[in-house]
């Protein structure tokens, strides 16, 4: 059941097809590149359904596909806990942020803060939150890409990271948000099709009876197995489970590349319908992941664990090979190649979204509004955005290659979610809802959130003094997931900064933000609308 280390020809061919299709899209999008609104918001021309697919494509990383299927394969129920958190998170996004972001923002989450707070400190703080999240998430995805492509296609780790990085930069630099959106849509369709076909193949083996699947999965274990249909095998510390759960459900509402997608639709109505589309696509996906995960356990059994690699990441591709007829058969190799290509497309779509949001923080927030104070031309803003994207991408490629396979991917993704939930989410939510909130509160809150997440992860038992050592840096603190401490700290920072500073929020600006975020009055128009309608209040 080992995935062949030698170059997999079928996989290379399918990879080439996927890559060519995305490059054609990028070329098409580059012809439509007109300015900053096109670069970051695709001219606000993406429909609700398209954006729902693109959100799914932006959100479902390789960790969701290969990672969760692998965790379910090795540990059982605990893998599914992640899925539940990842999905429920969209209610937070929908109820608290999606429409308000669309109505109040322009290109980045910092726009919403800068609307009513002192521009330069607020933007700098928000850009720092965005860049921290994007950096950890991006490096994690790049390392994951390298490991997977190396294992699945047989090309070298460094080369795999390089190819991923170059493709990602092509989409973003030449095609901006429009190309990124369509890469994400194609990826979502490929991923859903791939996992649906796999699920049908799995269910066919158990007479389309999911309960029989659970029975067989449970039976296919040995004394050495960590697998269980119940919880507690992977997440063994209850308080850590709760901490992780809270970070997942609030963190999504602070992920800059997800929130940025709401700027691409014409109005708040499309923003909320896109969340509902995303909910059904992502929810359906996570239910199917359990069929793949439990199916891998039922069909591959304990012998498949060694072949599935660290964290069981290769369980899904191995299962595909098995379902296609097994190693060495044409069907087996082909199905493996298809699933490998789907996994690759999955990574590309996520990293492109991340680089785009990071370029917004650097070019739109820091360069255009903090350094140049809005005096730069739109042409300059887009040029700086492209340079920023190239630099961020290059740095991520170098760190991923130098850090190599030794970088702990799951800890970096956990950290990204913790920072998003503890720094970005409190500041955004309070800026939109708390009249008294001020600049000092936003800056303190973001600082508290970012610093506490990072420090708590560094002193956690998994990281300090090393993965194999017993206990963390502090004897009384042994959480692997900082959320339960760092999220309240983020909110406390926002509160203390606000009440301890003399600055009073500008009432009139809050009134404007409040009305605008709730009704869409004065919101950024879509390209088509702006031509049709005169400016607000003729």
Partner 1 sequence: MSQADPRVDWEAIERSPEFQELITKRKHFVLPATVFFLAWYIGFILLAGYAPDFMSESVYQGLNVGYCLALTQFVMVFVLGVMYLRRADKVYDPLAETVVLRALSGRAEPPADDAGPEEVVR
Binding site for partner 1 (CB under 8 A): 77-78, 80-81, 83-85, 87-88, 90-92, 94-96, 99, 111, 114-115, 119, 210-218, 228-232, 235, 237-242, 245-246, 249, 269, 272-273, 275-276, 279-280, 283, 286-287, 290, 369, 507-509, 511-512, 514-515, 518-522, 536-537
Six token digits for residue 429: 């939510």
Q: How far apart are CA 338 and CA 346, in angstroms?
A: 12
Q: Which is nearer to partner 1, 94 or 348 (CB)?
A: 94
Distance of closest approach, residue 39 Cβ to partner 1, in angstroms = 20
Distance of closest approach, residue 395 Cβ to partner 1, in angstroms = 29
| Structural contact between residues 228 and 72, judged by C-beta atoms closer than 8 angstroms | no
Instruction: Give the dihedral sign, CA 184/189/192/193.
Output: negative
Q: Which is nearer to partner 1, 168 or 361 (CB)?
A: 361
Within 10 A of 535 (CB to CB), how many other CB atoms are there?
Answer: 8
Six token digits for residue 251: 């963190």
Between the CA of residue 225 and those of 70, 198, 503, 508, what are the distances in Å?
Answer: 14, 24, 59, 62
Contacts of 447 (CB under 8 A, 6+ apart): 125, 423, 493
> Following DSSP, what letter does each residue of 116-127 receive, concatenated?
HS-HHHHHHHHH
Six token digits for residue 521: 């009055």
The DSSP element (H or E) to which 81 belongs, if any, is: helix 77-92
**Burial label, 258 (beta-carbon count in 10 A; 0-12, 13-18, 19+):** buried
Distance of closest approach, residue 280 Cβ to partner 1, in angstroms = 7
Distance of closest approach, residue 236 Cβ to partner 1, in angstroms = 9
The 10 Å CB-count burial string (b at 16+, else e) for 394-409 is eebbebbbeeeeebbb
Q: Which is nearer to partner 1, 194 or 483 (CB)?
A: 483
Q: How far apart are CA 298 and CA 212, in angstroms?
A: 10
Radius of gyration of the chain from its Cα atoms, rounded to whole angstroms: 23
Q: Which is nearer to partner 1, 295 or 332 (CB)?
A: 295
Q: Which is nearer to partner 1, 142 or 213 (CB)?
A: 213
Q: Which is nearer to partner 1, 329 or 519 (CB)?
A: 519
Nearest to 427 by CA among 86, 12, 130: 130
Q: How far apart are CA 420 and CA 449, in angstroms?
A: 8
Q: Which is nearer to partner 1, 198 or 249 (CB)?
A: 249
Q: Which is nearer to partner 1, 180 or 290 (CB)?
A: 290
Q: Which is nearer to partner 1, 226 or 509 (CB)?
A: 509
The DSSP element (H or E) to which 237 belongs, if any, is: none
Distance of closest approach, residue 261 Cβ to partner 1, in angstroms = 16
Distance of closest approach, residue 239 Cβ to partner 1, in angstroms = 7
Q: How far apart are CA 422 and CA 419, in angstroms?
A: 5
Distance of closest approach, residue 212 Cβ to partner 1, in angstroms = 8
Six token digits for residue 38: 């096109």
Between the CA of residue 165 and those of 38, 257, 311, 354, what are the distances in Å?
Answer: 22, 17, 24, 12
Q: Which is nearer to partner 1, 139 or 250 (CB)?
A: 250
Distance of closest approach, residue 70 Cβ to partner 1, in angstroms = 18
Q: Which is nearer to partner 1, 80 or 171 (CB)?
A: 80
The DSSP symbol for 520 reads -
Distance of closest approach, residue 102 Cβ to partner 1, in angstroms = 13
Q: Which is nearer to partner 1, 458 or 536 (CB)?
A: 536
Distance of closest approach, residue 227 Cβ to partner 1, in angstroms = 12
Helix axis angle, 315-323 to 268-300, nearest 10°: 70
Distance of closest approach, residue 507 Cβ to partner 1, in angstroms = 7
Distance of closest approach, residue 119 Cβ to partner 1, in angstroms = 5
Six token digits for residue 117: 């707070």
């Amino acid at each position: 059941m080992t995935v062949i280390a030698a170059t997999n020809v079928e996989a290379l061919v399918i990879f080439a097809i996927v890559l060519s299709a995305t490059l054609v899209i990028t070329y098409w999008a580059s012809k439509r590149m007109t300015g900053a609104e096109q670069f970051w918001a695709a001219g606000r021309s993406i429909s609700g359904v398209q954006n729902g697919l693109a959100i799914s494509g932006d959100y479902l990383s390789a960790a969701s596909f290969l990672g969760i299927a692998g965790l379910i394969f090795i540990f059982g129920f605990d893998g599914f806990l992640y899925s539940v958190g990842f999905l429920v998170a969209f209610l937070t996004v929908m109820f608290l942020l999606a429409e308000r972001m669309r109505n109040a923002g322009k290109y980045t989450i910092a726009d919403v803060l800068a609307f009513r707070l002192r521009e330069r400190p607020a933007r700098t703080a928000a850009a720092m939150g965005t860049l921290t999240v994007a950096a950890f998430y991006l490096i994690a995805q790049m390392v994951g890409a390298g490991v997977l492509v190396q294992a699945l296609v047989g090309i070298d780790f460094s080369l795999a990271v390089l190819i991923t990085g170059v493709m990602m930069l092509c989409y973003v630099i030449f095609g901006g948000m429009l190309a990124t959106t369509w890469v994400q849509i194609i990826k979502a369709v490929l991923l859903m099709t791939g996992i649906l076909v796999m699920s049908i193949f799995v269910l066919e083996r158990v007479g389309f009876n999911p309960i029989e699947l659970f029975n067989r999965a449970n039976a296919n274990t040995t004394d050495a197995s960590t697998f269980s249909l119940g919880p507690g095998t992977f997440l063994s510390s209850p308080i850590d489970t709760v901490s992780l759960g809270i970070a997942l459900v609030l963190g999504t509402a602070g992920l800059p590349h997800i929130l940025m997608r709401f700027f691409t639709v014409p109005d708040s109505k499309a923003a909320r319908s896109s969340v509902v589309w995303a909910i059904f696509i992502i929810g359906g996906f996570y239910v199917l992941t359990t069929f793949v995960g439990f199916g891998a356990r039922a069909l591959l059994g304990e012998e498949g664990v060694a072949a599935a690699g660290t964290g069981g990441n290769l369980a899904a591709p191995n299962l595909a090979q098995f379902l296609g007829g097994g190693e060495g058969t044409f069907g087996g190799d082909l199905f493996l190649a298809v699933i490998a290509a789907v996994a690759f497309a999955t990574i590309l779509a996520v990293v492109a979204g991340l680089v785009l949001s990071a370029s917004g923080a650097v070019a739109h927030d820091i360069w255009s509004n903090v350094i140049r104070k809005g005096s730069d031309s739109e042409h300059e803003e887009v040029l700086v955005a492209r340079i920023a994207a190239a630099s961020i991408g290059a740095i991520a490629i170098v760190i991923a290659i130098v850090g190599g396979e030794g970088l702990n991917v799951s800890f970096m993704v956990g950290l990204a979610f913790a920072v998003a939930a503890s720094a970005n989410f409190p500041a955004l939510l309070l800026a939109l809802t708390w009249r008294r909130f001020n600049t000092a509160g936003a800056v303190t809150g973001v600082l508290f959130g970012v610093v506490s997440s990072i420090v708590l992860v560094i002193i956690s038992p998994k990281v300090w003094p090393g993965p194999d050592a017993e206990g963390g840096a502090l004897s009384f603190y042994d959480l692997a997931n900082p959320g339960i401490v760092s999220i309240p700290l983020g909110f406390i920072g926002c509160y203390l900064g606000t009440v301890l500073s003399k600055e009073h929020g500008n009432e009139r600006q809050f009134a404007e933000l409040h009305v605008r975020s709730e009704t869409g009055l004065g919101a950024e128009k879509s390209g088509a609308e702006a031509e049709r309608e005169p400016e607000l209040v003729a």
